Amino acid sequence: MDNFNEQKNSPINDDFDSAALDEELGKLISLDENSKTEVSHSPLSIGGVEETSAEKIKSLHIPKLQKKAAVAAVASQERITGVRTFFTKLHAGAIEFLDGQITEWLKNNPKVVIKRTNTATGEIQGKKTEPSIVVTVWY
């Protein structure tokens, strides 16, 4: 393994004076107009461009942003407290049966307020893999 302290390209410099660096860092740089620097704090004039006065800026017509009216909520403001999922095969008789299941469940649970529904189609694996429809009801 190389010893970095013995190489010429060592990251450690023995001639480094940390006390002088600390002294330089301790000095404050003055940004006062009365300082001895030759930096101008006045705005630059590019020439050929007329300066804009405060009156010209005030006379400009700037349209104000208008607030939009709040949109009424579509769903109930209450939190979702439950979910029920129904699924069946994708053929006419099975979909009619699914409609009956959902209707019967809603009749048996009159206090349910439906917040959101979702439908998806895909294959569900059982004894056989068959195309199905899935209806999810959040209440």
Residues in contact with 102: Cβ distance below 8 Å, sequence separation at least 6, in sequence order:
86, 135, 137
pLDDT in tens, 69-126: 776 656 556 788 899 999 999 888 999 999 999 999 999 999 889 999 999 999 988 8
Average the pLDDT over 28-43 and give the result: 64
Its pTM stands at: 0.43
61 against 2, higher pLDDT? 61
Distances in Å between the Cα of 45 and the Cα atoms of 39, 51, 52, 58, 70 are 15, 9, 12, 22, 48
State both tokens at 109.
């649970």
Tell which residue, 117, 46, 120, has the closest CA to residue 88. 120
